[in-house]
Amino acid sequence: MNHSLPDSEILYSALVNRDSNFEGIFVVGVKTTGIFCRPTCTARKPKRANVEFFASAHDALLAGYRPCKVCTPLEYKGAAPDWLKPLLTEINDNPLIRLRDSDLRARGLDPSRVSYWFKRHHEMTFQAYLRALRIGQAFGRIKHGESVTRTALESGYESLSGFADSFKRTAGFSPNKSQESQLIVTTRILTPLGPMLAGATDDGICLLEFVDRRMLETQLKRLSKLLNAECAPGFCKHFDKLSSELEEYFSGKRREFDVPLVLPGTPFQQRVWTALQTIPYGSTRSYKEQAETIGLPNAVRAVARANGDNRIAIIIPCHRVIGADGNLTGYGGGLWRKRYLLNLESSHGPR
């Protein structure tokens, strides 16, 4: 993908300052070492005369550079380190597993190191993450007809009261109310632009946001209130399809998404979000044109606010709305991501 890069002096300044806003925009090749790095690499910065810039890791590899072992530019940002991957695979294969610190040590892992990674990437301790997974699994079993008693025992709880207390702390309601309630199950999905947080109910995807978006916590609270549901990490039938479609999108093989969506909002927001989905791949529309599309040409500011309230990035393509003068404006995930997405789509052309 041949992106047009900013001026090389701007790129070198971003490299020297380890500017995370340029993650995904370029990588840098160091001529004296033959290695290429992310802009945020912590290694000592080379002289200006010794670097060249590339729009992608693929371009750097074609130029003969090797990936840096410090910043690992071939890995998605937020990817689990190699030492943790066997543990994550074990948890994915058995979400009901219980692991004490001694169990982690027996696997050659430092419990404090494991806990630090989970706090940084999931904002909860490792043990809290395991408990939330167990409750998410239990909720699904009870909602689909299994008894509370059997679910509690098979989830590893020794008493119904202990199970009920843990369940209510996580889900916000007692296990007996599972069949008339719902839970927003969340997971992290890695992309070339950084990790995203996905949320889903039984009916479809209700959240897809970059984890570093400032409004993410507010969006989670709004979504929880709108759906009358708490959020908990776990597994959902829609996540595999979502991950597959995102991977196809970023590789230029998908232009439209088929994964089902859940879009609670006001009637006006619904109109705006529906209109966003009519903007063709590889095309853009101004905020004024967006307002005209829904039949309210004077509601430009309200349309912009509704765009900002979109909770499902990329799939509902608010990144395709730009300023009337053609400038990129207003994207919750950061303008650098908006630029990347538009470049990605334009490089593969409209239908």
Q: What is the CATH number of the domain that holds 281?
A: 1.10.10.10
d(C-alpha 281, C-alpha 348), whole Å: 9
Buried b (16+ CB within 10 A) or exposed e, 74-83: eeebbebeee
300: in domain: yes
Q: Which domain holds residue 241?
A: 183-251
Are 162 and 232 members of one domain?
Answer: no
d(C-alpha 263, C-alpha 276), whole Å: 13
d(C-alpha 332, C-alpha 318), whole Å: 10
d(C-alpha 341, C-alpha 279), whole Å: 14
257: in domain: no
* 90-94, 186-190, 203-207, 345-349: least confidently modelled range: 345-349
Binding residues are: 37, 41, 68, 71
Which is more confidently placed, 281 or 214? 281
Are 139 and 152 members of one domain?
Answer: yes
DSSP 75: S
Per-residue pLDDT band at 1 (split at 50, 70, 90):
very low
CA 139 to chain centre: 24
Number of domains, the chain: 4
3-state SS assignment for residue 63: coil
127: in domain: yes
Are 327 and 309 members of one domain?
Answer: yes
112: in domain: yes
pLDDT at position 2 = 40
244: in domain: yes
pLDDT at position 7 = 82
Q: What is the dihedral sign for C-alpha 218, 220, 221, 227? A: positive
Binding residues for Zn(2+) are: 37, 41, 68, 71
15: in domain: yes
294: in domain: yes
d(C-alpha 105, C-alpha 126), whole Å: 14
Are 192 and 164 members of one domain?
Answer: no
What is the set of active-site residues?
37, 318
Read off the pLDDT of residues 126-146 as tens digits, 9 standing for 90 and up: 998 888 888 888 888 888 888
1: in domain: no
